[in-house]
Amino acid sequence: MDSTSIIMTIIILFLIVVLFLAVSFANKKIDSTKKIDILNKLKDLGLHVQSLDGAVRRDSIVKLDNLLTKALQYYFHNSDTCGNNLKKSNRIFKKKELDSLWEAHKIRNNIVHNDYDIDQDEALETFNIYNLSIRKILK
């Protein structure tokens, strides 16, 4: 190989690496129709978490977690579980925010697996965590 072909090979490899990095670090924009759909559902669930009916509150928390899952999947362009995507979310959230979000997810798991009866105050607090987190993901 002569020096010209070695230089051309290096330049081509360099351009491939640059292209790969550009695609990897591209802005994680979420389609606006998907974003609007999630925000509309989020707004509706905000009303349901304040229900006097415990079953409605529990169902709302589960649905909020599903919205979080969907937002994270859109953000990361994958179909992973909520827990798996939360593990990757330290670049989206500050530590305190991520800890709160994990607590909200644990409440959801407690509702689903242990038939936990969430009171109105805790449901509203949990909604606020999901609401802020989902909105941050959709920015």
pTM of the model: 0.79
pLDDT one-digit tens code per residue, 48-103: 999 999 999 999 999 999 999 999 999 999 999 999 999 999 999 999 999 999 99
Distance (Å) of CA 24 to CA 28, 34, 132? 10, 22, 26
DSSP assignment letter at 79? -
- What gap in Å lies between CA 58 and CA 50, rounded to an integer? 11
Continuous H helices in the chain: 3-24, 32-48, 54-76, 82-87, 95-114, 120-138
